[in-house]
Structure 1
């Protein structure tokens, strides 16, 4: 009986050490996706999944290599990434600016916040027919939709972060003689940064969602166009490849946001403890 207990105790200790291993922690998030892909490949090979419904991962990889060799994949990927980054910069910059303005100024909050909250309740993708009437089917319409999608998460989190800063810290800064720019840079902005980065992380997901929908509307380039064009010719592997690339881009954007959190919030004891 004691031997059994010793074995179970040793197994528990070794398992805890495995969980604490940094290399294992890096691999852990990929265990489930890799398992799903392996099961997907197996189901396709034994005939459970038809290639017309869902092609095997190996077929999708072969299609990716083929499109990459012709340059079509990289051209469309670059166009989509450019649209997404431009829309994020425009919408995120405006959202951050309005969040700062309304967070600092009660007068500005009374002037702008109610109107912005009314606009926020309108699903931005429901504006597509109106956006087409305004901008046509060019890149302006797509940039508008992406910018509008990322505007509100960054605005709300910036506004909330500034209003959530401890007033005692601000008063203490004034007692020590800090001017408004110093208060902003040394106290208010660091205190609001965690909330702002949450808005950035959330808006990055909305950025790709908005772009996916926008690029499926009469586009002549981009990943969305590549998927819609493949649908016309029943090229399911290209459609799945486009969806997979969107998911990888979303994961990359989320990882970048987490890296920013680790870099800029390492001073925060609550973040370190988490």
Structure 2
């Protein structure tokens, strides 16, 4: 667990943040990243890392630059980005709709609970042969695997949130003459917003994981394919470059989606910063 910032450090951190004109969270993240790179470089220079298995930061940066110069990096990044975004939308939209409907039809939600729990408990890797029969071994396979994982994650998260909604409040609002649209907009969505934010983050992480795994295993163009080939030929600098690229891509997607969702709900922004 990360220790809390001391009381003495808080004013200093705030002063530095104000002087640089950047949010405190960004400043802490940048300092953490710089410390990690410095530790990595020291580990490499002192020879503690196994030779040939852990390249230094500069070697990885050079490999990343070479991939960018050749155009390979942007090509694979575009393929993986499409798999993540399209697969996420295919799974998240019906998943969110099903999760939100749980607040209106609790009995139907209870009936589906066991099926959802069973489906989410099955290791997705054993479903890949069936997905191959359905989608083949191209982009459709990657999109299908991502969509299924995202659908389950989003549905289960929002269903859990729907159980915390006060049904008496929903009934009272309806008795006062509110339409289903107003109940959804003014009661259900605000109540479910923390779970929607959590579901978004969990679903996007699943989307990134599934896209990389399927690209790696089935050699579908994308970052996963490049990762596998780099490791297979022991090009470790290139391999670590694509690992860092994957982490950066996931962080950027999560940040963009979270910011967009919080921008759509200004009343939740203050609470959202704390998570």
- The match for 2:10 among 16, 26, 42 is 16
Cα drift, residue 273 of structure 1: 9.3
Structure 2 residues not aligned, in runs of 5+? 1-5
User: Which residue number in structure 1 is paired with residue 247 of structure 2?
Assistant: 247
Seen in structure 2, the aligned counterparts of structure 1 residues 51 and 183 have a Cα distance that, compared at 3 Å, is same
| More displaced stretch, 222-231 vs 255-264 | 255-264
User: Which residue number in structure 2 is paired with residue 71 of structure 1?
Assistant: 71
2:142 aligned counterpart, secondary structure: helix
Moved over 6 A (4+): none
User: Which residue number in structure 1 is paired with residue 3 of structure 2?
Assistant: none
State how far apart, in whole Å, the 1-side matches of 2:153 and 2:200 are: 7
State how far apart, in whole Å, the 2-side matches of 1:111 and 1:75 are: 45
Bigger Cα Rg: 1
State how far apart, in whole Å, the 2-side matches of 1:115 and 1:220 are: 31
- TM-score w.r.t. the length of structure 1 is 0.85
- 1:87 and 2:87 matched: yes
Q: Between Structure 1 and Structure 2, how many residues are aligned?
A: 263
- 1:112 and 2:116 matched: no
State how far apart, in whole Å, the 2-side matches of 1:44 and 1:174 are: 65
| More displaced stretch, 56-65 vs 28-37 | 28-37
Structure 1 residues not aligned, in runs of 5+? 1-11
Cα drift, residue 170 of structure 1: 2.2
Cα drift, residue 26 of structure 1: 2.2
- TM-score w.r.t. the length of structure 2 is 0.85
State how far apart, in whole Å, the 2-side matches of 1:108 and 1:146 are: 26
State how far apart, in whole Å, the 2-side matches of 1:85 and 1:179 are: 33
2:189 aligned counterpart, secondary structure: helix
User: Which residue number in structure 2 is paired with residue 55 of structure 1?
Assistant: 55
Q: Could you list the per-position Cα deviations for residues 3-43 of structure 1 after superposition, in whole angstroms to 9, with x for gaps in the alignment? A: xxxxxxxxx87633124444444211232332121121222
Cα drift, residue 269 of structure 1: 9.4
| More displaced stretch, 23-32 vs 217-226 | 23-32
RMSD: 2.5
